[in-house]
Structure 1
């Protein structure tokens, strides 16, 4: 078979240019990434060999070897792990993060120009492309690999300029050997003292030997012990950070580190991290968790669905237990009762540790902005921990800047308020300007502004928080009469004042005429108790989906659900009062009714139903006012 030349994805060339130029001051990390990948390869073979011992025959002492050839300018990083065949070389090395390449490029473009090293590192960590850091120090990268259980070896080669070649390679040992032809300004990485320094700094925690080979002599340069098995008092913050970089293939620092050991009915150890940066695939439909499960320090799987719930899929780290059999099937792990017990203890501990950090409002805001939307999925899915999750939740609101918790919300409720009010929409800024909250603002009632898609679902399932139920402001039956806000008497609309127990006859007649003009576009037109400065607002009926949820479903081609639309009119607004007088005199108010409905639609973030008719009516109304 001849040498085959293939092309990187278009965006890969751009990435390689960034890696080479933007990360110049962070060159040491190339070795950390390659050693981390080698360690993962050995872990995977160690697990596979439990059920197929023949895969590891002849070389069962797993290790990573560093070989320096100063005369030729070559640095080799070799492992005797699982290895790769031709298809895997092309898939893993010719495609960045598989489906993530385009999203990486989009994230890069959003930075408006060339990113600095810190931002670029963060992006590269999110997209799982640490292998390409080798091109920071190498003019050429050759990867020679033979997959365990197969006889044919392969060689992948590239200079990082846009193409790579793949060809058969005879005599390749099992595992992967990466040969770097170092650049002239990177020859320092050929010196043993430089390699020792980098390994001790970044890879000392790797749970297999990293050896520096010099001819027949081999020197182990790392501690080679499982960091999670050490006592917490023996582990430094720097070691925790580097283990996080290794296990999560991340470049940011952990926001939270949870190091635990549980004994009793079941024994397990865990070293779990909450990232600072949001992974690019956090909202991938698969919602896979990222924790690695070990049994007696032998890697089992990084896809143990029953270990933690999907709303904690941002967690990274390791869980190790001696109580599972080494030959446990990955397929049976989800239904294993021991795994479920470990998961319950792990989740409780992690949520408790996250809660402890909430006292530092600035730090907690970083976590919430990155992962709050995911954590709220648990209110919808995890019946057992809903109360705990509600305590952890933070919200934007109509009367306060920044984030507010539910405990603070309850403490500031005015007399007569019985519910926790919320409004869903696309952005907090748009919701603050929504007429639906005007009456609440006038009475000093804070409204939670919910802008995540999951908010439409968990609010319908959430239990009362300290005996206070959640209630949507968007519901047509919102009642403000019982709330005794400080400014209620001065700012309440006319129809809401005590003497207006019943709607005025002229307003009721106007509502009837508007409903007749609008037909089936709305289910009802009625006087509002919520409006103070706007003439109209559009709300959903007491039952069914909200207006925002209807828009979300339409955006995902789910057109079956329709909100019952109610147009509320403000009896105290001059426009509505004038229309009521004209209607009483027998004037036609149809055009005005349609203009008001379209105005309400625009405020809700919806397009007008008929743009041409809207333009015609608006022009005619302006002509009447100007001439």
Structure 2
């Protein structure tokens, strides 16, 4: 195929310009990106060679090689890994096949913070473009393992690139950078200097499991006394290749863990917590996991449900093994290295492997236990964790019954006890009166909405603490009638409020006084109300709507409908405050109205609509409500 000149995809061109010209605190990161990509290519070739016995590829000496040329001012980073075909080059380099790139462009252009820019670049996996921060020209030659013809790609980063066939390309990928002039004032080091490269590899890529090699000139002493020493080229390996997860934690510096975390997560923050595991017994495995300090943009739209890489006896198997961790722990990054899993095991067998299931159980318990330890010993770190990942962590309450109690214990919740501090359930129970045997809660779309709900009025008046649950998952786990420490969870928006005073004997008389009005209201509002009754739940509002004890909430109805599941409209109970002037006035009007109460129906409908709006609900017919309100106001003025 003849040489072709292409333009970068529009989004790729804009991102390229932003990355190259954005304030970037550490231009050294380009080398880490290239070595990381090379390491991934070697991993993929090793895996492909294990699963495809017909693959015509040389796997005898897999490695990464750096070749600096101080005279020509070039640096070549090469690997003999899986390589790429022509279409892959166009797709992966010429375009940005990621969702959310428009959002990234805006965030990069608006960010004046260097660290924030690096974090964004790392999150969206476009680190290859960082080569243009240090190079005026980039040439990539690649040949996919098993194919006979390679591809040559070249660009100066000006918006176009040239692509051509490369008949003599070796297996793998070679990227040659024509370097910009050294500018130490702007963190542009001499990347053609072997000592600079040695230092950077040691700092960023010492843990890479494949050898990173470079020819160095060494001085050889003269064989005879008085003779002149000679210089020879020596092929040296720059990295230790030691699997960091196999080391004793006390022998690993925090900086080493941080760099390894960035390698496996492709993020730019530092880990909030490092979790090291060494399991022995029936089968052995090692794990090194990290809880990030910042949430990626894709947290609620994850590309994969598990971010652990699976190795078997130091051989990379897969970075997509959702069986290792449940989705509610998708924020955890790291590696698992097992000794006893078969290298030839297929994807389907892996899913059923009992050892994988056993590893999963232990990993989950370890992560939840680590979160609990943070809560107990590192409150500031725990607060950061919860702000970033609390809503995701709580997803486990809706799906992991085996660890339900442990997740509850490790969680915190908004509460009426404090405007700015969350509470654990243990602390909630400790503050409860001795006679209170339940945990009160209310769900809603936001804390602000819940706090304004009339359902809380009676509980506030009596000083009873209520949990304020505003995450979507709260609707699901609370509907399962959970318990904690022997106490059941009770919604303040369902069933009877349970706020009656023991010495209150007036309740029965008042029920009789309002009985006819309540029956009439139920008939008028039959389409939306299952029954009407008086309540002690309210102190300031005239009315509120309450679900039956085992009914689903209005928020749950919305969630079902948003997911495309149509469910019948759930009627609720209309509760009235017998001390409110609107209710007492309606009762008098009803009592004096004879048998025809048609003129009171607009008021009844307005009371229902106000109760619905007060809890943050949506009117089925806003225009009808506006008409009723207008007519009522006009009548009052007359």
TM-score by length of 2: 0.90
Structure 2: distance between partners of 1:83 and 1:351: 40
Higher Cα Rg: structure 1 or 2?
2
| Residues 24 and 136 in structure 1, CA contact (< 8 A), matched pair in contact too | no
| Residues 126 and 278 in structure 1, CA contact (< 8 A), matched pair in contact too | no
- Tell me which residue corresponds to 2:245: 228
Task: Find out whether 1:389 has 2:407 as its counterpart.
Answer: yes
Structure 1 residue corresponding to 2:368, chosen from 333, 351, 355 = 351
Task: Find out whether 1:155 has 2:152 as its counterpart.
Answer: yes
CA distance 1:43–1:322, shift in 2 (3 Å): same
| Residues 304 and 322 in structure 2, CA contact (< 8 A), matched pair in contact too | no
Alignment of 1:112-261 (within 5 A): 113-184=110-181, 185=183, 186=188, 188-213=190-215, 217-261=234-278
| Residues 16 and 160 in structure 1, CA contact (< 8 A), matched pair in contact too | yes
Structure 2, unpaired ranges of 5+:
218-232
| Residues 3 and 163 in structure 2, CA contact (< 8 A), matched pair in contact too | yes
Per the alignment, in what secondary structure is the counterpart of residue 571 of structure 1? coil
- The CA deviation at 1:244 is 0.4
Structure 1: distance between partners of 2:481 and 2:274: 29
CA distance 1:6–1:549, shift in 2 (3 Å): farther
Alignment of 1:500-511 (within 5 A): 500-511=507-518
- The CA deviation at 1:442 is 1.6
- Tell me which residue corresponds to 1:493: none
Structure 2: distance between partners of 1:92 and 1:560: 44
| Residues 96 and 128 in structure 1, CA contact (< 8 A), matched pair in contact too | no
Alignment of 1:198-597 (within 5 A): 198-213=200-215, 217-284=234-301, 288-359=305-376, 360-400=378-418, 401-461=420-480, 463-481=482-500, 497-586=504-593, 588-597=599-608
CA distance 1:259–1:58, shift in 2 (3 Å): same
Structure 2 residue corresponding to 1:607, chosen from 612, 618, 626 = 618
- Tell me which residue corresponds to 1:622: 633
Structure 2: distance between partners of 1:287 and 1:405: 30
- The CA deviation at 1:455 is 1.4
Q: After superposing the two structures, state which structure 1 stretch, 608-617 or 349-358, moved more.
A: 608-617
CA distance 1:203–1:621, shift in 2 (3 Å): same
- Tell me which residue corresponds to 1:39: 39
Structure 2: distance between partners of 1:121 and 1:333: 36
CA distance 1:440–1:142, shift in 2 (3 Å): farther
| Residues 24 and 118 in structure 2, CA contact (< 8 A), matched pair in contact too | no
Structure 2 residue corresponding to 1:598, chosen from 585, 597, 609 = 609
Structure 1, unpaired ranges of 5+:
490-496
Structure 2: distance between partners of 1:481 and 1:135: 72
Structure 2: distance between partners of 1:8 and 1:468: 61
Aligned residues: 612
Structure 2: distance between partners of 1:518 and 1:388: 44
Q: After superposing the two structures, state which structure 1 stretch, 538-547 or 10-19, moved more.
A: 10-19
| Residues 295 and 324 in structure 1, CA contact (< 8 A), matched pair in contact too | yes
Per the alignment, in what secondary structure is the counterpart of residue 334 of structure 1? helix
CA distance 1:56–1:224, shift in 2 (3 Å): farther
| Residues 122 and 277 in structure 1, CA contact (< 8 A), matched pair in contact too | no
Q: After superposing the two structures, state which structure 1 stretch, 271-280 or 43-52, moved more.
A: 43-52
Moved over 6 A (4+): none
| Residues 541 and 563 in structure 1, CA contact (< 8 A), matched pair in contact too | no
Structure 1: distance between partners of 2:403 and 2:507: 45
| Residues 409 and 424 in structure 2, CA contact (< 8 A), matched pair in contact too | yes
Structure 1: distance between partners of 2:161 and 2:537: 65
- The CA deviation at 1:242 is 0.3
Structure 2: distance between partners of 1:54 and 1:68: 36
| Residues 91 and 97 in structure 2, CA contact (< 8 A), matched pair in contact too | no
- The CA deviation at 1:102 is 4.2
| Residues 42 and 63 in structure 1, CA contact (< 8 A), matched pair in contact too | yes
- The CA deviation at 1:252 is 0.9
- The CA deviation at 1:164 is 4.2
- The CA deviation at 1:2 is 3.3
| Residues 41 and 82 in structure 1, CA contact (< 8 A), matched pair in contact too | yes
CA distance 1:152–1:606, shift in 2 (3 Å): farther
Structure 1: distance between partners of 2:461 and 2:565: 37
C-alpha RMSD over aligned residues: 2.5
TM-score by length of 1: 0.91
- The CA deviation at 1:134 is 2.0
Per the alignment, in what secondary structure is the counterpart of residue 507 of structure 2? coil
| Residues 495 and 549 in structure 2, CA contact (< 8 A), matched pair in contact too | yes
| Residues 506 and 584 in structure 1, CA contact (< 8 A), matched pair in contact too | no
Structure 2: distance between partners of 1:155 and 1:522: 72
CA displacement, residues 498-526 of structure 1 (integer Å, 9 cap, x when unaligned): 42245444433333333333331322332
Structure 1: distance between partners of 2:547 and 2:160: 56
